[in-house]
């Protein structure tokens, strides 16, 4: 039982990271109807920027403080993501208005490729670490209930708190601010929003920046846990089954879908994996999503897809 | 002046509907084939065959298959690598397990196996589109990656996980030199290109295009979406599977699942986009572009005398491809093939464009 719970926690933590990536995906889809394939590349790019800036700034400006370095790196990386959002909107999306979804999907695939190459040219392609002072030692909980308790890493707990905070902040931003209201209006109906004077282009820059922010947070959490490297970009492809499962248009769906995928992956690897020869983690999420697509294409929480003739 | 169809009168429907209705085009394609079949084997060096021509031909064939699905039928696929892998491993098993299986037989059976898997993963396309379908085909990609790595039966329980074939021969002619391999690939590609061209000109090709342009309207005028989509998946994965067999048997010789990873799928999709969605010549142009660009970029620093590491070159290639994809999607969604046909159109009127 203790082992089962540990696996469960491990799965929840992995799932949370998928959720964070999926979140950026859902934000962009809701606001602009673009399937953003580049979210994974954005996570990699943001994490690379964060790791390298934190390494470079102390050298350039001659200070020692880790906190200051991280803070400055965070601001710089965020600024970079905003610039990126602006560039993507200006150079790519604004030229592709009114194109079919499949064209936009392929365009974001191009952006993903570009970002992969660009990030590694700028920041180098080794494995970098992000040290934001996360606690690394394990903690034991529920010791009263089982022999030896259940081991969870404190780092994971901190990460979970940060992720929850991020969701709360985003929810507040969307519900309480004027910009958030404009974003929701655009998500509901582009043309209606435009007709009452909401500038679409500006909204898209904002929403891509917010997705960049989510990517940065995901990149930092992932990077401080496992190091920043190219595979991050591929792992982020897991966000696709997550959004399929949760529903493309639903923020809670992204969170819950991520957790389901994370837990399902870990549990199936432990309990079904040995029967099939192991390593089923790499396809479990996709096949689960495929099965889901056949039964319920709109996902758990998505809006029903209605095609008009 | 040279490229003009004045005076070429068609007196029968057959003459009007042939693939190359203009005399100069027929001459050009004839010369091209002559050069490819006769001049190339005499002139090319071994490196040229091995590193450029053979990969180009095989990838062009795979891109051709993918183009039928993406360009003609409008169904996006990120699992091309998987279908290539299915073709390659199936053909390998037919070769190993059946005595005296000829190469061409194994190749066609490999293609048929890829067809079966392709149709299987194409079934979701009846209900879903766009991104959803992309995820379904991604499932195919990751699942086959895993299956060929972990299930020993497919690799004939090879301990290293990699399999190899040797002593290929076709009709008693051994495929041991680069030239003979090149000629074999070229013949296969020519046959399939002709077949694909004719398919896309026929009723079924027009059904695919109707589905691509608007599926509801196509259904209204009596095209069965199920039939059209699944045949597109079948034909596409058959060609892709055959390309997979060639890639594994002729180009690589010994291979492991990593040869057909998701990067291969993306590479082929990019070829189709850059070359031209919905055109046969586009597959060739795109493949030529994608094969040549890394080679040129690799050589460029030597010519210019600037030292660039190989890692940087591979990142630059990533960046250039990414930027080009976006560029083509914005500026010319029909890719290099469209530029080519625009150029031809201009030629017809030159030098009096009015």
A19-29 tens-digit pLDDT: 888 888 888 88
Give residue-wise pLDDT tens across range A239-249.
888 888 888 77
Domain boundaries in chain B? Answer: 47-349
Q: What is the pTM of this model?
A: 0.86
- pLDDT number for residue A117: 87
Helix ranges, B278-334 (H): 280-304, 310-331
Tell me the mean pLDDT in the region B240-250. 92
CB A297 within 8 A of CB A274: no
Tell me the mean pLDDT in the region A142-160. 69
Are A240 and B273 a contacting pair at CB < 8 A?
no
Are B321 and A241 a contacting pair at CB < 8 A?
no
Q: How many CB atoms lie within 10 A of CB A37?
A: 25
CB A157 within 8 A of CB A151: no
Band of residue B195 on the pLDDT scale cut at 50, 70, 90: very high
Tell me the mean pLDDT in the region A123-139. 73
Give residue-wise pLDDT tens across range A60-79.
887 777 788 888 888 999 99
For residue B220, give how far its alpha carbon lies from the nearest alpha carbon of chain A (Å): 10
Query: Which helix or strand (DSSP H or E) is residue B66 part of?
Result: helix B54-67
Q: Is A5 exposed, middle or buried (0-12, 13-18, 19+ CB in 10 A)?
A: middle
- pLDDT number for residue B191: 93
- pLDDT number for residue B328: 85
Q: Domain B47-349 maps to which CATH number in 3.30.110, 1.10.3470, 3.40.50, 3.80.10?
A: 1.10.3470
Residue of B nearest to A29 (CA): B131
- pLDDT number for residue A160: 82
- Measured CB to CB, residues of chain B less than 8 Å from chain A are 74, 76, 124, 127-132, 134-136, 138-139, 142-143, 145-146, 149-151, 216, 262, 266, 269-270, 273, 311-312, 314-326, 329-330, 333
- pLDDT number for residue B354: 66
Band of residue B58 on the pLDDT scale cut at 50, 70, 90: very high
- pLDDT number for residue A309: 42
Out of A141-150, A279-288, B80-89, B173-182, pick the least confident. Answer: A141-150
Residue of B nearest to A299 (CA): B132
Domain boundaries in chain A? Answer: 2-228
In this complex, the residue of B127, B139, B150 whose CB is nearest that of residue A287 is B139
Burial per residue of A222-257, b for 16 or more beta-carbon CB atoms within 10 angstroms, e otherwise: bbbbebbbeebbebbbbbbbbbbbbbbbbbebbbbb
**Which contacts (CB < 8 Å, 24+ apart) does range A70-79 have?**
A70/A131, A70/A132, A70/A133, A73/A49, A74/A50, A74/A216, A74/A220, A76/A49, A77/A46, A77/A49, A77/A50, A77/A53, A77/A216, A78/A212, A78/A213, A78/A216
* Residue % of chain B over a pLDDT of 70: 98
In this complex, the residue of B135, B326, B329 whose CB is nearest that of residue A240 is B135
């Amino acid at each position: 039982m203790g082992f089962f719970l540990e696996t469960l926690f491990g799965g929840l933590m992995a799932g949370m990271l998928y959720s964070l990536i999926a979140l950026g995906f859902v934000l962009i889809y809701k606001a602009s109807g673009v399937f953003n394939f580049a979210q994974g590349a954005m996570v990699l790019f943001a994490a690379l920027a964060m790791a390298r800036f934190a390494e470079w700034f102390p050298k350039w400006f001659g200070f020692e403080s880790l906190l200051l370095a991280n803070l400055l790196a965070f601001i710089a990386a965020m600024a970079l993501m905003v610039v990126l959002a602006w560039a993507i909107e200006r150079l790519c999306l604004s030229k592709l208005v009114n194109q079919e979804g499949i064209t936009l999907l392929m365009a974001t695939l191009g952006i993903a490729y570009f970002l992969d190459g660009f990030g590694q040219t700028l920041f180098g392609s080794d494995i970098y670490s992000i040290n934001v002072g996360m606690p690394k030692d394990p903690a034991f909980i529920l010791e009263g209930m089982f022999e030896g308790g259940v081991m969870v890493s404190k780092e994971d707990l901190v990460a979970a708190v940060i992720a929850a905070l991020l969701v709360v902040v985003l929810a507040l931003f969307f519900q309480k601010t004027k910009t958030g209201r404009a974003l929701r209006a655009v998500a509901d109906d582009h043309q209606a929003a435009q007709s009452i004077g909401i500038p679409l282009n500006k909204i898209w820059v904002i929403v891509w920046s917010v997705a960049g922010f989510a990517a940065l947070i995901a990149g930092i959490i992932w990077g401080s846990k496992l190091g920043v490297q190219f595979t991050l970009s591929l792992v982020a492809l897991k966000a696709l089954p997550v959004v399929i499962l949760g529903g493309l248009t639903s923020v809670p769906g992204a969170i819950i879908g991520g957790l389901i995928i994370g837990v399902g992956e870990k549990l199936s690897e432990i309990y079904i994996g040995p029967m099939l020869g192991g390593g089923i983690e790499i396809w479990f999420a996709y096949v689960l999503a495929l099965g889901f697509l056949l039964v319920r294409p709109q996902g758990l929480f998505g809006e029903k897809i209605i095609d008009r003739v | 002046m040279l490229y003009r169809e004045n005076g070429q009168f068609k007196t029968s429907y057959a003459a009007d509907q042939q693939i190359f209705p203009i005399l100069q085009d027929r001459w050009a394609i004839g010369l091209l084939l002559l050069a490819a079949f006769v001049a190339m084997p005499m002139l090319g060096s071994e490196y040229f065959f091995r590193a450029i021509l053979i990969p180009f031909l095989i990838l062009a064939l795979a891109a051709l298959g993918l183009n039928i699905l993406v360009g003609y039928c409008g169904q996006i696929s990120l699992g091309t690598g998987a279908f290539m892998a299915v073709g390659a491993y199936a053909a390998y098993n037919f070769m190993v397990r059946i005595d005296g299986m000829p190469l061409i037989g194994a190749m066609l059976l490999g293609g048929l196996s890829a067809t079966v898997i392709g149709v299987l993963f194409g079934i979701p396309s009846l209900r879903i589109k766009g991104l959803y379908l992309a995820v379904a085909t991604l499932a195919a990609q990751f699942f086959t990656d895993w299956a060929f790595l972990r299930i020993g039966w497919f690799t004939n329980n090879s301990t290293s996980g990699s399999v190899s074939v040797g002593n290929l021969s076709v009709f008693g002619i051994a495929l041991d030199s680069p030239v003979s391999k090149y000629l074999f690939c070229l013949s296969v590609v020519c046959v399939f290109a002709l077949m694909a061209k004719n398919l896309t000109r026929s009723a079924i090709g027009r059904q695919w295009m109707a589905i691509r342009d608007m599926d509801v309207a196509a259904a209204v005028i009596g095209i069965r979406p199920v039939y059209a989509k699944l045949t597109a998946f079948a034909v596409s994965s058959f060609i892709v599977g055959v390309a997979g067999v060639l890639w594994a048997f002729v180009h690589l010789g010994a291979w492991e699942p990593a040869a057909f990873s998701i990067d291969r799928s993306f590479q082929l999709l990019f070829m189709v986009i850059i070359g031209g969605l919905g055109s046969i010549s586009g597959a060739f142009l795109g493949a030529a572009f994608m094969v040549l660009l890394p080679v040129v970029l690799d050589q460029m620093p030597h010519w210019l005398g600037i030292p660039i590491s190989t890692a940087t070159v591979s990142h630059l290639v990533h960046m250039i491809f990414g930027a080009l994809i976006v560029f083509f999607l914005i500026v010319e969604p029909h890719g290099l093939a469209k530029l080519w046909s625009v150029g031809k159109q201009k030629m017809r009127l030159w030098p009096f464009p009015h």
